A and B are shown apart, each in its own frame.
Chain A
């Protein structure tokens, strides 16, 4: 069993839809990260969370430490949101990654 599991692996949505990507982890962590990787490969850090909720534009990330679960929400999705979204957890200084969720938003 992977230490970090994401669901779904693939997600296709229509423009405007509300999107949720889930992440569960099985180890003790100091922080959880949501990363975005566009075609062409660059990785951008979206959020770093250790508790509660963060919001940036149309993106919202939540974490429940007791349940070892985090969600990334995208409101009013747009084709430019199409990317791979990766959940990663920090234990010590080490990042452990989930396998990623491929999101495709169709116009």
Chain B
């Protein structure tokens, strides 16, 4: 298995633009998580899905953020409109029940 695959690896965009981050979890994993990492706040859970259903989105900062998981092999995190304070590394991770987590390589987002 190629692991959790995130794209793009790096994204630079202008303030106000829409940004879409993508994640392909490990096949067979039933939970998918989106995390954000900043110097100030460390790692924070944004949202997680179980069996493609959003379970906890309390970490989503505001309505500008949305996440979808249309099927078991794909998820997106969208920011519209983007702001400079959204600049961070966004990680996707997947797990099967509680049998450990596998993280993607992250997407480094810079909003200028």
CB of A103 closer than 8 Å to a CB of B: no
A52 on the B face (CB < 8 A): no
* Complex: A95 Cα to B33 Cα, angstroms: 9
Question: Chain B binding site: helix, strand, loop or mixed by DSSP?
Answer: strand
- Total count of chain B residues near the partner, CB < 8 A: 25
Q: Contact check, B50 vs A93: say whether CB atoms are below 8 A apart.
A: yes
Cross-chain contact A45 with B48 (CB below 8 angstroms): no
Q: Which residue of B lies closest to A30 (CB)?
A: B98
Give, as a whole number of angstroms, the nearest-CB distance from B83 to chain A. Answer: 22
Q: Does A94 contact B (CB under 8 A)?
A: yes
Q: Are A94 and B103 in contact (CB under 8 A)?
A: no
Instruction: Determine the chain B residues whose CB is within 8 A of the CB of A33 once the complex forms.
Output: 100-101
How many angstroms between the C-alpha atoms of A99 and B35 in the bound complex?
14
B56 x A45 contact (CB < 8 A): no
Could you tell me the distance between the alpha carbons of A17 and B41 in the complex, rounded to whole angstroms? 30
B105 and A42 contact, CB distance less than 8 A: yes
Query: Is A85 in contact with chain B by the CB < 8 A criterion?
Result: no
- Asked if A11 lies at the interface with its beta carbon under 8 angstroms from chain B, I say no
List the B side residues contacting A100 at CB < 8 Å.
42
By a beta-carbon cutoff of 8 Å, the part of chain A in contact with chain B is 30-31, 33, 35, 41-45, 48, 86, 88, 90, 93-97, 99-100
> Which residue numbers of B lie inside 8 Å of A, CB to CB?
31, 33, 35, 37, 42-45, 48, 50, 55-56, 89, 91, 93, 95, 98-103, 105-106, 108
